[in-house]
Amino acid sequence: MSVPETLLPTACATPPVRFERGQREVFCGLTGIVWLHRKIQDAFFLVVGSRTCAHLLQSAAGVMIFAEPRFGTAILEERDLAGLADANEELDRIVGRLLERRPDIRMLFLVGSCPSEVIKLDLGRAAQRLDRAHAPGVRVLSYSGSGIETTFTEGEDACLAALVPAMPQASAAQETQLLVVGALAEIVEDQFRRIFAELGLRNVAFLPPRRAGELPPVGPNTKVLLAQPFLSATVAVLERRGAHRIPALFPLGAEGTTGWIRAVANAFGIAAARVTAVTEAGERRAQRALEGLREELAGKRIFMFPDSQLEVPLARFLSRELDMQPIEIGTPYLNRDLLSAELALLPAGVPIVEGQDVEAQLDRCRAARPDLTLCGLGLANPLEAEGLATKWSIELCFTPIHGYDQAADLAGLFSRPLARRARLRV
């Protein structure tokens, strides 16, 4: 693979970044509903879209196991488009019936899709109207998960950004609050809660909350810590409400988790000795758990297709803690600001490709013959059939991977495909 000379870094501070435009092979932001609805346990996600949107959700959810899932699609039909039916009346009718059937729902998201956006259905206004109509029992909010506006994890960003205006104002007199932002598995959230408590932080909140009624307050006394790298819009609206972001590594791997916690400690002026006391055990546990995996993965070359925006922190983790060798880091979007600490730790000279041209990427991937390829579900089996080992990237969003005690699970996602290939004799 060749990188235009002009883009090669003069000093290693900024890795080479190339922008690519062509066919993209990434899900749209609707996909986030699959994990968000499990996180906020009394929320319902109503996509206003087409049969395609409904089918995407169903296919991404993979398993059709829920009796009545807390997500659904209001499918636009010909009469809605022809203006024979008033879209707003239709929406009111569907929402009314839905809430009647599901009295357990406390928060309803109207989620915009490509079709709703192209026909300029104003879901923001619809949400306001429905919010008034169903107050105080149910909050109604809206955001866009459309494929023309959002790529995969940007759906979560849009959803969390929509929650921010609904958050109460934190009183200025209150103790400084740490707000951890980004959907995390409950088990991980609880681990982090314990760590922050040990640091002596008494005012810690998480966004999104587990229940609609538990939206944390926000204000100038709020310090924001991102748990996920793809939350630029959410950060922007939080900052508008006076909050300050703590720049940090992301809590992937032992080093990432310690860096993340240290950044908090610095921001809150906590003594270094205390931080070490709190992080030491977890860090050592993670490192020990990673040892065997490092033996398996060291020196292995990995090619990363763009997918979740987790690629940069992942490449940092894989290269620094497992001695893997990233040969191309694809990302649908690169937020240099949020990722500055991460970018500084990447091995020198690894090309970062922002955007996507899937055919060109496949050509480069085939030519490079990496030991492992991180890619989406549409590409994995075809690449396997060509003899390339793959890891599906969507698992990174469905599995707990953050924090010390998940570091080995995260590494395991990458070692398993290789171990399996080594074992199979057929």
> Using CB under 8 A as the criterion, which residues of the chain lie in contact with another protein when the complex forms?
22-31, 46, 48, 50-56, 58-60, 64-65, 67-69, 71-78, 80-81, 85, 87, 90-91, 93-94, 97-98, 114-115, 117-119, 146-149, 151, 359, 376-382, 384-385
Nearer to ligand SF4, 147 or 306 (CB): 147
> In whole angstroms, how close is the CB of 20 to another protein at the nearest point?
12
List of residues 6+ apart from 330 with CB closer than 8 A? 304, 305, 306, 307, 311, 352, 353, 356, 361
List of residues 6+ apart from 422 with CB closer than 8 A? none
Closest CA to 212 of 158, 166, 177: 166
Closest CA to 363 of 383, 389, 333, 334: 383
| C-alpha triplet 354, 360, 363: angle, nearest 5° | 125
Amino acid at 339: L
Q: Which does 359 bind (CB under 5 to 8 A by kind): another protein, ligand SF4, none?
A: another protein
Q: Residue 146 interacts with ligand SF4 (CB under 6 A)? A: yes
Token representation of residue 151: 């790529």
Tell me how far apart the alpha carbons of residues 401 and 397 are, in angstroms, rounded to a whole number: 8
Q: Residue 113 interacts with ligand SF4 (CB under 6 A)? A: yes
CB 155 within 8 A of CB 31: yes
Tell me how far apart the alpha carbons of residues 195 and 248 are, in angstroms, rounded to a whole number: 16
Tell me how far apart the alpha carbons of residues 35 and 39 are, in angstroms, rounded to a whole number: 6
Q: Residue 151 interacts with ligand SF4 (CB under 6 A)? A: no
> In whole angstroms, how close is the CB of 356 to another protein at the nearest point?
8
Q: Which does 415 bind (CB under 5 to 8 A by kind): another protein, ligand SF4, none?
A: none
Q: Which does 149 bind (CB under 5 to 8 A by kind): ligand SF4, another protein, none?
A: another protein
Binding-site string for ligand SF4 from residue 58 to residue 97, where x marks contact by CB under 6 A and - marks none? ----------------------------------------
Binder of ligand SF4 out of 56, 185, 207, 231 (CB under 6 A) = 56
Q: How far is CA 320 from CA 198, 347, 419, in A?
A: 27, 8, 21
> In whole angstroms, how close is the CB of 73 to another protein at the nearest point?
5
Binder of ligand SF4 out of 15, 32, 49, 155 (CB under 6 A) = 49
> In whole angstroms, how close is the CB of 55 to ligand SF4 at the nearest point?
8
Nearer to ligand SF4, 51 or 240 (CB): 51
SS3 95: helix
Token representation of residue 18: 């190339």
Tokens 């909140």 sit on residue:
205
Q: Which does 384 bind (CB under 5 to 8 A by kind): another protein, ligand SF4, none?
A: another protein
CB 73 within 8 A of CB 57: yes
> In whole angstroms, how close is the CB of 68 to another protein at the nearest point?
6
Q: Residue 370 interacts with ligand SF4 (CB under 6 A)? A: no
> In whole angstroms, how close is the CB of 73 to ligand SF4 at the nearest point?
9
Q: Which does 151 bind (CB under 5 to 8 A by kind): ligand SF4, another protein, none?
A: another protein
> In whole angstroms, how close is the CB of 389 to another protein at the nearest point?
14
Cβ atoms within 10 Å of 142's Cβ, excluding its own: 24
Token representation of residue 55: 């089918």
- Residue 74 host element (H or E): strand 71-75
Q: Is residue 24 packed enough to be buried (19+ CB in 10 Å), middle (13-18) or exposed (0-12)?
A: middle
Phi-psi region of 62 (alpha: psi -120 to 50; beta: other; left: phi over 0): left
Q: Residue 50 interacts with ligand SF4 (CB under 6 A)? A: yes
> In whole angstroms, how close is the CB of 414 to another protein at the nearest point?
19
Nearer to ligand SF4, 28 or 338 (CB): 28
DSSP state of 150: -
> In whole angstroms, how close is the CB of 50 to ligand SF4 at the nearest point?
6
Binder of ligand SF4 out of 26, 30, 224, 249 (CB under 6 A) = 30
Tokens 């819009």 sit on residue:
233
**With CB under 6 A as the contact rule, which of the stretches 87-95, 113-121, 238-246, 298-306 interacts with ligand SF4?**
113-121
Q: Which residues contact ligand SF4 (rule: CB under 6 A)?
A: 28, 30, 49-50, 52-53, 56, 113-115, 146-147
